[in-house]
Amino acid sequence: METRAPADGGPSRRTTCTLHEGEAMTATTDGSTGASLRPLAASASDTDITIPAAAAGVPEAAARATRRATDFLLAKQDAEGWWKGDLETNVTMDAEDLLLRQFLGIQDEETTRAAALFIRGEQREDGTWATFYGGPGELSTTIEAYVALRLAGDSPEAPHMARAAEWIRSRGGIASARVFTRIWLALFGWWKWDDLPELPPELIYFPTWVPLNIYDFGCWARQTIVPLTIVSAKRPVRPAPFPLDELHTDPARPNPPRPLAPVASWDGAFQRIDKALHAYRKVAPRRLRRAAMNSAARWIIERQENDGCWGGIQPPAVYSVIALYLLGYDLEHPVMRAGLESLDRFAVWREDGARMIEACQSPVWDTCLATIALADAGVPEDHPQLVKASDWMLGEQIVRPGDWSVKRPGLPPGGWAFEFHNDNYPDIDDTAEVVLALRRVRHHDPERVEKAIGRGVRWNLGMQSKNGAWGAFDVDNTSAFPNRLPFCDFGEVIDPPSADVTAHVVEMLAVEGLAHDPRTRRGIQWLLDAQEADGSWFGRWGVNYVYGTGSVIPALTAAGLPTSHPAIRRAVRWLESVQNEDGGWGEDLRSYRYVREWSGRGASTASQTGWALMALLAAGERDSKAVERGVAWLAATQREDGSWDEPYFTGTGFPWDFSINYNLYRQVFPLTALGRYVHGEPFAKKSRAADAPAEAAPAEVKGS
């Protein structure tokens, strides 16, 4: 069934997409580009759906679904108190793991076989690999997967390999791949280092007031770029086990020159800066360069976590291991051994023998969301499993400075990270949600909880950016320069404030009685100013406008804006306009690129339906037809064991460029929505906004 078009004929956005002449645009979720036709909105469920016609049956169905989902989620808790769902991304994680092992000479038959089995299983019929379920084939991902399978022994003449190679050539071959892919190929001589952007290790010496210092980059990019400055300076080449002529459009000219952009453009200016850096490489003082690489190595080692990883994410760990290896660190060195062992912990071994690599792991995030879902679903606040979850979260609070303190040197620590081990990079979003989770539990040591919450609230307030909003990891990480670098073509490399993170902080502050604090009011005003013309909000860390809107509305109402506020009414109308005919909500990742065509549109999913319902319930729409239909869809698509199916990716790493399927999202967000439908809004009867009545809040911010 089709989604309904917005009442105004389509959203008006700050950003638009230019479709190139001759580009075929369809609106399917089978891997085509998709833009001109209205998207089909088939359910993500494997079974046909019959929505109960009688409204009287919906509350009972919701209560039954809530009980089953509660039992399912409680059964998934680890004995230590945490929850963690698998985190699916794309096969570049698996391909680069095999390339790393080949480069270091530590490949083994079992790992290679299992990784290849997974990579083959993700290939599409046209020979390509996508970056998200149902998405279009992606060139760099397909190249890396192809090379990994060659390393695993797949013949280039095999039908699945021939299809991949033909598609790669049709898209420009290796020469059209992103920089990161060509770096991996350069490690084996399949690409020339001279034809890659220069990344000098002397960057480590740039003070924070100089543009393009390492702290101008988002923390995930910073942790990747620093080790890559060493790799770029060393330019290693391992003997290639085979040629890759079949991936070039013209094997006689595998490295065709790239045209320069006009000198007066930003791209042209940075391309010429890169040429100057290539020239500098030839005359760089050896002593300075050696000292810079050693300083970069110290920076890397100082940020290795207790589990041996870097930043809790796989890509920086991979490049850090390579960089240190190139500087002479033996594989048996404690730093190297711990780093390699940490990479093995990203592996998920499946029942069929395939091995999938997670880009990172999400126990803190999953645990706080699961705690919120269970509490809102009616689990008693002193339930032993909620108390155990609280104990675990309390033990995960970070009480030492990290990279964030470069811009906030006097701010006491107190945040939470996303992963098991990531003390250098707590994040504002996790901290807000952990506080909201802890506040729902009656702990046997309330003084300990209050102190932890106080530290978290203080840290989040101190991480507010100057525009009144919050980014994910850093303050005012908004420099325009990093995204202009020729090197940075792999996705988002800065961490500007976003509506979803800001909303979660505002909601937390409201629950903590700070709804009328001037800092909270600035955050609310920023959110009102950031609303799109159609009534939605952009979602930075979840897909997309449904996620942003589902985050903001509960925050605004928690902070005291009445449900009659114009911004809230516009958001309600938008959500109603994009509800699928089956009653659910869904949004395809293509909305990040083709806004007008895909905003709020796609196959219904459990997590996105949960987000939409959470917003509508917070907006006072419990008895509306839209809520009734959405709740009925969740109840009808629930599996017998209390879970939901969700193959679609609804999490965002980098908008469009790196997408995530958080396997626990399909459980926690539907349960949260159902729980609030059955039991009412959380904190409605015991608001902590003690500094002023909630009804007074709208007077302190401008209308929208």
Q: 167-193: per-residue pLDDT in tens?
A: 999 999 999 999 999 999 999 999 999
- pLDDT of 3 strictly over 50: no
- The angle subtended at Cα 133 by Cα 132 and Cα 136, nearest 5°, is 65
321, 100 in Cβ contact below 8 A?
Answer: yes
At 622, list the tokens: 């419990």
Q: Is residue 328 part of a domain?
A: yes
Structure tokens belonging to residue 382: 């002193």
Q: How much is the mean pLDDT over the chain?
A: 90
Q: Is the pLDDT of residue 255 over 90?
A: no
CA distance 615 to 649: 20
| Site of tokens 């994410």 | 313
Let me know whether 192 and 321 are in one domain.
yes
Is there a single domain that holds both residue 566 and residue 459?
A: yes
Residue after which a domain boundary falls, among 315, 339, 357: 357
Q: What is the pLDDT of residue 702?
A: 55
Q: Give the lowest-confidence range in 25-39, 335-349, 618-632.
A: 25-39
Whether the predicted pLDDT of 641 surpasses 50: yes
| Alpha-carbon torsion angle 110, 113, 116, 117, nearest 10 | -110
Boundary residue ending a domain (357, 375, 390)? 357
DSSP code per residue over 565-631: SHHHHHHHHHHHHT-BTTS-----GGGGT-HHHHTT-SS--HHHHHHHHHHHHHTT-TTSHHHHHHH
Q: Report how far residue 127's alpha carbon sits from residue 125's, in angstroms, rounded to the nearest whole number.
A: 5
Q: Is the dihedral of CA 249, 251, 253, 255 positive or negative?
A: positive
Q: What is the pLDDT of residues 266-309, one digit of tens each?
A: 777 777 887 888 888 889 999 999 999 999 999 999 999 999 99
Domain assignment of residue 624, yes or no: yes
If one counts every other C-beta atom within 10 angstroms of the C-beta of residue 499, the result is 27
The answer on 235 and 148 residing in a single domain is: yes
Q: Is 396 in the same domain as 251?
A: no
Could you tell me how many residues make up the chain?
704
Q: Does the pLDDT at position 38 exceed 50?
A: no
Give the per-residue pLDDT at 359: 96
Helix and strand counts by DSSP (H, E) for the chain = 23, 5
Give the number of domains in the chain.
2
Q: Does residue 22 fall inside a structural domain?
A: no
Residue 311 lies in a domain: yes
Q: From residue 540, how far is each of 332, 645, 659 by CA, in Å?
A: 40, 24, 11
Q: Is 355 helix (H, G, I), strand (E, B) or coil?
A: strand
Inside any domain, residue 489: no
Residue 279 and residue 155 in one domain: yes
Give dist(CA 127, CA 122) in Å, integer. 10
In a domain, 563, yes or no: yes
- Would you say residue 47 has pLDDT above 80? no
Q: What whole-number distance in Å separates Cα of residue 297 and Cα of residue 291?
A: 10
Q: Are residue 527 and residue 652 in the same domain, yes or no? A: yes
Q: What is the CATH number of the domain that holds 175?
A: 1.50.10.20
Pull the structure tokens for residue 570: 């516009």
Judge if 379 and 342 occupy the same domain.
no
Give the Cα-Cα-Cα angle 551, 552, 555 (nearest 5 degrees).
95
Q: Which residue has the tokens 């759906």?
A: 49
Same domain membership, residue 240 and residue 317: yes
- E strand or H helix at 652, and its extent? strand 651-654
Both 442 and 501 in one domain: the answer is yes
CA distance 127 to 131: 14
Any idea what DSSP says for residue 329?
-
Give the model's pLDDT for residue 618: 98
Say whether both 139 and 193 belong to one domain.
yes
Nearest residue to 575 via CA among 541, 619, 605: 619
Counting residues of the chain whose pLDDT is more than 90, the rounded percentage is 82
8 A C-beta contact, residue 111 and residue 349: no
pLDDT band at 56 (very low <50, low <70, confident <90, very high): low
Residue 519 has pLDDT above 60, yes or no: yes
Residue 205 has pLDDT above 90, yes or no: yes
- φ/ψ of 161, rounded to 5, equals -75, -40
Is 70 exceeded by the pLDDT of residue 25?
A: no
591 located within any domain: yes
Closest CA to 599 of 2, 1, 10: 10
Q: What is the mean pLDDT of residues 90-109?
A: 97
Residue ending a domain, choose from 357, 375, 402: 357
pTM: 0.89
- As given in the structure block, the two tokens for residue 403 are 């990279």
Residue with tokens 């809102």: 376
172: left (phi over 0), alpha (psi -120 to 50) or beta: left
Identity of the amino acid at 395: G
* Active-site amino acid positions: 429
pLDDT in tens, 450-460: 999 999 999 99
- Tokens 């999938």 sit on residue: 356
Name the H helices within 284-411.
286-302, 314-326, 334-344, 363-376, 384-395
Q: What is the pLDDT of residues 656-700, one digit of tens each?
A: 999 999 999 999 999 999 999 999 999 875 444 444 333 334 434
For residue 246, what are the contacts with CB-CB under 8 A and spacing of at least 6? 156, 165, 169
Q: Which domain holds residue 427?
A: 57-85+362-477+494-685
Mean pLDDT of 576-600: 97
Whether 62 and 199 map to the same domain: the answer is: no
CA-to-CA distance for 531 and 551, rounded, in angstroms?
12
